[in-house]
């Protein structure tokens, strides 16, 4: 089977000869993938990229797992594309940092579907696993995706990384583990992001804090029944963390929408938080955030992460990252 690839316009070219530049008029797509699979792809989408990402098999087929992955990324793209479109007027084009990038599915597909034809803008992938970063660099080189960079640093380290510009337009973090989502929010605040698109992963930090104070809280309030059983501690920990993240973003000048990434049948970790910068810092959100932390007995343990630093924490007793202090909330 002769390998082919398609440009942003849907035009075919030999594999490995990806070109940058503005889209040309659409032509019917033909490629090494069966027609039923092609009908599930976006017009002009690179079959070669999807094969390299193992979303499509070598003979151009989709399996159950990759169909799910593709569905997630498309769903996310539907939310991200309008944000990028708003930011695309400038000469340099939009910048996007994807945190906990993994194999960079999201970054590569965003580049293929949007940045490639736009001819400007830059995507940065941030990932701690060196081998994934190296693979992504090689793949971007092979496909000619010249405006993609990959940084082998943690999300927290990325804020101060020299390879990143002072301002980043869009921050994404798709299933970045545990507190990496919080670090991505801190990064976004520091980089004055216009938008943040977050799909939190499992969360352990809050559950650990809830666990620690459980006996005391059970004696104090019947509400502590909500986290008495270990399974509930974990679930409530995730839920409360996401609520606090939303309040923190609202208090920092973002308008927040919470929706689903895909149907519950596909993933239990499908909460999609979209934050758009408006500059309106909601005082009521800061007050609610503080009140919730107090109600759960977490002001000391989690306050600093969410910008509520007590004197003790300022002198080093708090355990949250320094980045989270960059947007301290005066509740």
Ligand X SMILES: C[S@@+](CC[C@H](N)C(=O)[O-])C[C@H]1O[C@@H](n2cnc3c(N)ncnc32)[C@H](O)[C@@H]1O
φ, ψ of residue 196 to 5 degrees: the values are -130, 135
Structure tokens given for 201: 């992963």
Our finding on whether 298 is near ligand X (CB under 6 A) is: no
Q: Would you call 122 helix, strand, or coil by DSSP?
A: strand
Judged by CB under 6 A, does residue 174 bind ligand X? yes
Least spacing, CB of residue 33 vs ligand X, in Å? 21
Q: Is 16 helix (H, G, I), strand (E, B) or coil?
A: coil
Does position 150 bind ligand X by CB under 6 A? no
Residues 178-197 that bind ligand X (CB under 6 A): 180, 183
d(CA 159, CA 110): 22
Q: Interface with ligand X by CB under 6 A: which range of 36-44, 46-54, 168-176, 247-255? A: 168-176
For the window 114-143, what string marks contact with ligand X as x by the rule CB under 6 A?
A: ------------xxxx--x-----------
Is residue 155 a contact point for ligand X (CB under 6 A)?
yes
Task: Judge whether 205 and 229 are in contact, CB under 8 Å.
Answer: no
Q: Least Å distance between CB 130 and ligand X?
A: 10
Q: Tokens 């090494």 — which residue? A: 32
Question: Does residue 176 interact with ligand X by CB under 6 A?
Answer: yes
Query: Does 151 contact ligand X by CB under 6 A?
Result: no
Q: Are 244 and 302 in contact (CB under 8 A)?
A: yes
Q: Which of 25, 24, 42 is nearest to 33 (CA)?
A: 42
Query: CB of residue 175 vs ligand X: minimum separation in angstroms?
Result: 4
DSSP per-residue letters across 225-256: GGGSSHHHHHHHHHHHHHHHHHHHHHHTTEEE
Give the burial string for 45-57 (b: 16+ CB within 10 Å, else e). Answer: bbbbbbbbbebbe
Any contact of residue 100 with ligand X (CB under 6 A)? Answer: yes
Closest CB 155 distance from ligand X, rounded Å: 4
In angstroms, what is the minimal distance from the CB of 51 to ligand X?
17
Q: With CA atoms as reference, report the closest residue to 201 among 272, 249, 297, 149.
A: 272
Exactly one of 105, 114, 150, 277 binds ligand X (CB under 6 A); that residue is 105
Which residue lies nearer to ligand X by CB, 8 or 201?
201
If one asks whether residue 320 binds ligand X (CB under 6 A), the answer comes out as no
Decide whether 234 or 282 has the Cβ nearer to ligand X: 234
Q: Which 22-81 residues touch ligand X, going by CB under 6 A?
A: none
Binding site for ligand X (CB under 6 A): 100-102, 105, 126-129, 132, 154-155, 174-177, 180, 183, 201
């Amino acid at each position: 089977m002769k390998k082919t690839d398609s440009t942003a316009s849907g035009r075919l070219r030999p594999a490995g000869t990806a070109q940058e530049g503005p889209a040309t008029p659409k032509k019917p797509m033909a490629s090494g993938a069966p027609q039923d699979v092609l009908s599930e792809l976006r017009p002009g989408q690179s079959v070669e990229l999807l094969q390299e990402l193992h979303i499509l098999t070598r003979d151009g087929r989709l399996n159950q797992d990759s169909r799910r992955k593709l569905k997630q990324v498309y769903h996310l793209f539907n939310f991200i594309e309008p944000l990028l479109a708003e930011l695309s007027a400038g000469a340099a084009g939009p910048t996007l940092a994807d945190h906990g990038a993994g194999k960079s599915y999201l970054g590569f597909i965003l580049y293929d579907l949007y940045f490639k034809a736009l001819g400007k803008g830059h995507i940065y992938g941030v990932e701690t696993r060196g081998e994934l970063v190296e693979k992504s660099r090689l793949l971007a080189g092979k496909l000619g995706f010249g405006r993609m960079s990959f940084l082998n640093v943690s999300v927290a380290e990325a804020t101060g990384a020299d390879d990143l510009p002072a301002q980043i337009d869009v921050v994404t973090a798709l299933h970045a583990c545990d507190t990496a989502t919080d670090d991505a929010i801190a990064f976004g605040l520091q980089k004055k992001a216009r938008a943040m698109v977050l799909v939190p992963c499992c969360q352990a930090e809050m559950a650990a804090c809830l666990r620690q104070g459980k006996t005391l809280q059970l004696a104090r309030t019947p509400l502590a029944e909500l986290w008495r059983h270990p399974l509930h501690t974990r679930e409530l920990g995730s839920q409360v963390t996401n609520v606090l993240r939303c309040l923190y973003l609202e208090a920092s000048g973002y308008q927040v929408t919470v929706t689903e990434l895909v149907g519950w049948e596909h993933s239990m970790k499908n909460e999609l938080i979209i934050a758009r910068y408006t500059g309106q810092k909601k005082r009521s959100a800061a007050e609610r955030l503080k009140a919730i932390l107090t109600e759960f007995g977490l002001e000391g343990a989690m306050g600093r992460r969410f910008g509520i630093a007590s004197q003790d924490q300022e002198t080093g007793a708090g355990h949250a990252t320094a980045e989270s202090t960059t947007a301290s909330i005066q509740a």
